[in-house]
């Protein structure tokens, strides 16, 4: 099995050294420091380039479980929301515009014929996905085609020159296959991974949990075969997302993950290409219980936790300003030496000269120390 490429260790080391030289207490920028170091690792340079060219790809597809009460909304909403994305009226449009992110919609498996531009329909590989509690979502051949479609979409964006990709989802009923995939891939029960999605009532929630239980049972034999697993209990859109995420890692392109649906696709992609997760960050943690479980399995702590349960890439879009802030601080802050700010006291036992004034002569870690109050290694 092919593993994902490593991040650039030299750039990571340079970023760590630079973080320690900046005019702030060591570690005080918290998660921003980790994100800045990660950005250097994925870009292979320190300081990192600003994130000017970011694209969100929303993978749209229908799901048979929505026909039998898995969602609080009717299946027709999937296509109607694709039209809404194209008209600019969805939450993802507004947040993408705020964050300066390009939005692209890919109809991978929306049911029916639609008069959408070729760019939207080009990677259409299925007319919806089957009821996963009783039958396969898609044939295995369609899963293979859908994964290749997701890889092709990633290639198109990477070849066009992108600094960062975001994966988002649109598909009524899609939190049911997402929960089932997370259940199989983390060994959890339907009770642990199933949430209310768009907000189903108690009766529908019980029905949904029963569907997830049945789907987990149907999918468990394919636990170690991501292609057969996504064919059995996922769907074409989830397969395309998994291909997209794996390809981004293969091509050394960072990705911000969104909610429970991209989380399920990420678990699949990590099985396709072990180590791919190093190329991703989790934009947020949604309120769907399966999402926290997926992120824990991936070892990806979310940047934000603000009660979102929408999908479309919205949680990832909200994290973009934080990623940009991380890059900007590492790039533009002064160092102790350049700003003439005194560094940290040396550790107990080390000799120290308290009378030394705060001048530009203090020393960042890694520089040769000629004064006793040089900055300590963090």
Ligand X SMILES: O=C(O)c1cccnc1
- The Cα 352–Cα 344 span in angstroms is 11
String of DSSP letters for 264-295: HHHHHHHHHSTTGGGGEEEEE--SSHHHHHHH
Is 259 among the residues that bind ligand X (CB under 6 A)? Answer: yes
- Unique residue bearing structure tokens 């601080």: 329
Phi, psi of 281 (to 5 degrees): -120, 155
At its nearest, how many Å lie between ligand X and the CB of residue 104? Answer: 18
Across the chain, the runs of DSSP E, i.e. the strands, are 54-61, 102-109, 164-170, 255-257, 280-284, 302-304
- In the complex with ligand X, the residue whose CB is nearer, 142 or 286, is 286
Type and span of the H or E element at 176: helix 175-186
Report the residue from 311, 313, 364, 365 that binds ligand RBZ according to the rule CB under 6 A: 311
Q: Which does 21 bind (CB under 5 to 8 A by kind): ligand RBZ, ligand X, none?
A: none
- In the complex with ligand RBZ, the residue whose CB is nearer, 35 or 238, is 238
Q: Which does 81 bind (CB under 5 to 8 A by kind): ligand RBZ, ligand X, none?
A: ligand RBZ
Is 170 among the residues that bind ligand RBZ (CB under 6 A)? Answer: yes
Is 71 among the residues that bind ligand X (CB under 6 A)? Answer: no
- The Cα 351–Cα 332 span in angstroms is 32
Catalytic member of 247, 288, 312, 377? 312
Please report, as residue ranges, which positions from 336 to 365 form the binding site for ligand X (by CB under 6 A): none
Q: Which does 291 bind (CB under 5 to 8 A by kind): ligand X, ligand RBZ, none?
A: ligand X
- In the complex with ligand RBZ, the residue whose CB is nearer, 197 or 315, is 197
Tell me if residue 312 is catalytic.
yes
Q: By Cβ distance, which residue is nearest to ligand X?
A: 259
Q: By Cβ distance, which residue is nearest to ligand RBZ?
A: 197
Report the residue from 55, 71, 162, 329 that binds ligand RBZ according to the rule CB under 6 A: 71
At its nearest, how many Å lie between ligand X and the CB of residue 78? Answer: 12
CA distances (Å), 340 to each of 18, 24, 334, in order?
16, 12, 9
Report the residue from 55, 78, 142, 198 that binds ligand X according to the rule CB under 6 A: 198
Is 310 among the residues that bind ligand RBZ (CB under 6 A)? Answer: yes
* Count of alpha carbons within 13 angstroms of residue 271, beta-carbon side: 23
- In the complex with ligand X, the residue whose CB is nearer, 287 or 331, is 287
CB 138 within 8 A of CB 228: no
Please report, as residue ranges, which positions from 187 to 216 form the binding site for ligand RBZ (by CB under 6 A): 197-198
Instruction: Dig out the tokens for 214 from the structure.
Output: 């049945």
Is 254 among the residues that bind ligand RBZ (CB under 6 A)? Answer: no
- The Cα 249–Cα 242 span in angstroms is 11
At its nearest, how many Å lie between ligand X and the CB of residue 283? Answer: 10
Report the residue from 107, 237, 250, 312 that binds ligand RBZ according to the rule CB under 6 A: 312
- Find, among 61, 293, 315, the residue nearest to 173 by Cα: 61
Please report, as residue ranges, which positions from 80 to 139 form the binding site for ligand X (by CB under 6 A): none
Binding mask 154-193 toward ligand X (x if CB under 6 A, else -) reads ---------------------x------------------
Is 288 among the residues that bind ligand X (CB under 6 A)? Answer: yes
Burial class (CB in 10 A: 0-12, 13-18, 19+), 21: buried
Is 263 among the residues that bind ligand RBZ (CB under 6 A)? Answer: no
- The Cα 331–Cα 273 span in angstroms is 32
CA distances (Å), 95 to each of 172, 230, 303, in order?
21, 30, 16
* Catalytic residue list: 312
């Amino acid at each position: 099995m092919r593993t994902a490429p490593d991040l650039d260790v030299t750039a990571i080391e340079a970023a760590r050294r630079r973080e320690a030289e900046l005019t702030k207490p060591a570690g005080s920028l918290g998660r921003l420091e980790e994100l800045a170091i990660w950005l250097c690792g994925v870009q292979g340079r320190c300081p990192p380039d600003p994130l000017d060219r970011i694209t969100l790809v929303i993978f749209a597809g229908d799901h048979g479980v929505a026909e039998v009460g898995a969602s609080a909304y009717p299946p027709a909403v999937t296509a109607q929301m694709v039209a809404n994305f194209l008209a600019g009226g969805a939450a993802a449009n507004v947040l993408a515009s705020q964050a300066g992110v390009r939005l692209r919609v890919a109809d991978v498996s929306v049911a029916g014929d639609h008069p959408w531009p070729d760019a939207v329909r080009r990677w259409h590989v299925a007319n919806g996905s089957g009821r996963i509690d009783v039958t396969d979502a898609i044939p295995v051949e369609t899963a293979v085609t859908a994964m290749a479609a997701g890889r092709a979409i990633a290639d198109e964006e990477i070849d066009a020159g992108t600094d960062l990709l975001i994966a988002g989802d649109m598909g009524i009923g899609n939190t049911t296959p997402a929960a089932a995939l997370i259940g199989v891939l983390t060994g959890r029960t339907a009770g642990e991974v199933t949430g209310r999605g768009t907000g189903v009532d108690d009766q529908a929630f019980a029905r949904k949990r029963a569907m997830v239980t049945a789907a987990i049972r149907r999918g468990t034999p394919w636990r170690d075969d991501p292609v057969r697993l996504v064919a059995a209990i996922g769907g074409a859109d989830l397969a395309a997302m998994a291909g997209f995420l794996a390809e981004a890692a293969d091509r050394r392109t960072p990705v911000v993950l969104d909610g429970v649906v991209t989380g399920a696709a990420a678990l699949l992609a990590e099985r396709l290409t072990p180590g791919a997760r190093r190329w991703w960050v989790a934009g947020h943690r949604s309120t769907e219980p399966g999402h926290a479980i997926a992120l824990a399995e991936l070892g990806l702590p979310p940047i934000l936790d603000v009660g979102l349960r929408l999908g479309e890439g919205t949680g990832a879009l909200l994290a973009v300003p934080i990623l940009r802030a991380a890059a900007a601080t590492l790039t533009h802050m002064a160092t102790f030496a350049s700003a003439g700010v005194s560094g940290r006291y040396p550790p107990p036992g080390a000799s120290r000269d308290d009378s030394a004034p705060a001048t530009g002569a203090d020393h960042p870690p890694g520089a040769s120390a000629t004064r006793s109050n040089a900055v300590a290694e963090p």
